[in-house]
């Protein structure tokens, strides 16, 4: 069992965060941006940074090769859509998409806005764990309510436009 504190201050315990969010035993702050039978999309649970979106398959998959075609297509499309929205809505000037396997072994795509240091060797959530660490990288730590507002904007846009994007 792992424990973290999310960006609104709740303490969470889980074996696999993405599985817990997909099964709704843990509610991502602000709720899911998007979900269907294959994927979930939500703001990163602990990083206090605008423009950090997680796209994950609903089922527990550890490597891209284990995704079925529908999961892979939905994940790529949802990540592309999030990246475009971050720029379109002014949350980022540029974005980076990074494939990550969390500590529970669950594959994720991280879509991160305004993150030039992505080419650093250790691209990990620890980069976003302290205000000093973020400041050194030119990033601004934000209050949870700013991320919740962004989440609501993204929910609305996914509802209106994502299925047309596919």
- Which residues are paired to 125 by β-bridges? none
Q: Cα–Cα distance between 129 and 47 in angstroms, integer? A: 7
| pLDDT band at residue 139 under the 50/70/90 scheme | low
Domain positions in the chain = 2-165
- Could you give the angle at which helices 144-157 and 69-88 cross, rounded to 10 degrees? 120
- The stretch 61-79 carries a mean pLDDT of 95
CATH T-level assignment (fold) for domain 2-165: HIT family, subunit A (3.30.428)
For 83-126, the DSSP string reads HHHHHHTTS-SSEEEEEEE-TTS-EEEEEEES-GGGGSS--SGG
| pLDDT band at residue 111 under the 50/70/90 scheme | very high
Q: Cα–Cα distance between 73 and 61 in angstroms, integer? A: 15
- Total-model pTM: 0.88
With a pLDDT cut of 70, the percent of the chain lying above it is: 84
| pLDDT band at residue 92 under the 50/70/90 scheme | confident
For 4-26, the DSSP string reads EE-TTS-EEEES-HHHHHHTTSS
- The stretch 27-52 carries a mean pLDDT of 92
């Amino acid at each position: 069992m792992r424990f973290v504190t999310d960006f609104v201050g709740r303490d969470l315990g889980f074996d696999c965060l993405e599985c817990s969010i997909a099964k709704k035993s843990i509610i991502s702050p602000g709720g899911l941006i998007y979900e269907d039978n294959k994927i979930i999309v939500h703001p990163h649970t602990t990083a206090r940074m605008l423009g950090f979106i997680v796209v994950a398959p609903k089922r527990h998959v550890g490597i891209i090769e284990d995704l079925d075609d529908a999961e892979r297509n939905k994940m790529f499309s949802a990540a592309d859509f999030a990246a475009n929205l971050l720029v379109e809505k002014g949350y980022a000037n540029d974005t980076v998409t990074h494939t990550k396997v969390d500590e529970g072994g669950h594959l994720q795509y991280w879509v991160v806005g305004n993150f030039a240091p992505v080419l650093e060797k250790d691209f990990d959530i620890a980069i976003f764990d302290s205000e000093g660490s973020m400041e050194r990288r030119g990033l601004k730590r934000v209050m949870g309510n700013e991320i919740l507002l962004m989440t609501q904007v993204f929910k609305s846009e996914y509802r209106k436009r994502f299925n047309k994007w596919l």
